[in-house]
Chains A and B, each alone.
Chain A
């Protein structure tokens, strides 16, 4: 009798788990034409759970034609399920003062299981020399 209940339940749980867990396969060219200018970064982890699920692969930067700093961060979802998070860019001038930006949103984002994803932002002014990006799990 117990088996009659447990077995279908186990089946349902398995179905639910399989349904939630999908991960991304990808293909790309091996011989890269573009060269990323990677920069060293400092990380402050206060949410180990999020860092364990979505990790930072690296940060690279470039200058726009107008001389603005453009930052790109590569993220990797280490889990097999979709993860939701929000991020926000902050910019600082040569004196380390934060530059106010009217359009600096907290951007809600998501990353599929096993997916590698880039997020990027352009500095609001040419005076911006440094940056910080905050991540929070949704």
Chain B
């Protein structure tokens, strides 16, 4: 009798336990609860790299040296030298937003790599305005931002290690010289199947 009651109680509790474990929940993006994987660039890695680059760039005072602030920035090529397919906007967009919010730089969306505008409609309107007013009033970029993301892996026994290097260069568009360069390296280590938090 006792056994049946106990089993019934256990059976009733089981769905709650299983349901509790399987529940999905929100976590803070880039926070401590974020999933950490060794062989992948996680969102917190992009946030950290963008933060390091922005802080370093703002602290350098390079953007304050333009004749008419805020500086105008054009985004050049960010090379992905990792083994994974990534969208480099995850890095550059954060830097752009932070720089715009700082009031130190603005990014052009009508001038892109190979003549491709990020915002074709804005480029069209800009050209239309220039034609109507018969004068060029487009401000040329003061700087271009280029970079590379490199992955270095190492393995010893069951332990895997990945290092992601986020390299960025700010080039003076007039002289072609890199006036600021930054590098942030993020190294993660774990056993093959481990997922950290």
Question: Contact residues of A with B, CB < 8 Å?
Answer: 64-66, 68, 70, 86, 100-108, 121-122, 124-126, 136, 138
Contact = CB atoms under 8 A, between A and B. Distances in A.
B152 interface: no
Given A86-B32, A105-B48, A106-B30, A64 B98 contact: no
Given A101-B98, A125-B102, 15 more contacts: A66-B104, A102-B50, A102-B101, A103-B50, A103-B94, A104-B51, A105-B51, A106-B28, A124-B98, A124-B101, A124-B102, A125-B101, A125-B103, A126-B103, A138-B32
Given A66-B63, A122-B58, A106 B104 contact: no
B25 to A, nearest CB: 17
A126 B104 CA distance: 10
Contacts of A101: 98, 101
A103 B103 contact: no
Interface of B: 28, 30-32, 44, 47-48, 50-51, 54-56, 58-61, 63-64, 94-95, 97-98, 101-104
A103 B59 contact: no
The DSSP consensus for interface residues of chain B is helix
Contacts of A108: 32
Contact of A106 (B32, B59, B95, B98): B32
The DSSP consensus for interface residues of chain A is loop
Contacts of A105: 30, 44, 47-48, 51
20 contacts: A64-B59, A65-B61, A68-B102, A100-B101, A101-B98, A103-B98, A105-B30, A105-B51, A106-B28, A106-B31, A106-B32, A107-B48, A107-B51, A122-B59, A124-B58, A124-B98, A124-B101, A124-B102, A126-B103, A136-B32
Contacts of A64: 58-61
A104 B94 CA distance: 10
A66 to B, nearest CB: 4
B130 to A, nearest CB: 32
A13 to B, nearest CB: 23
A84 to B, nearest CB: 11
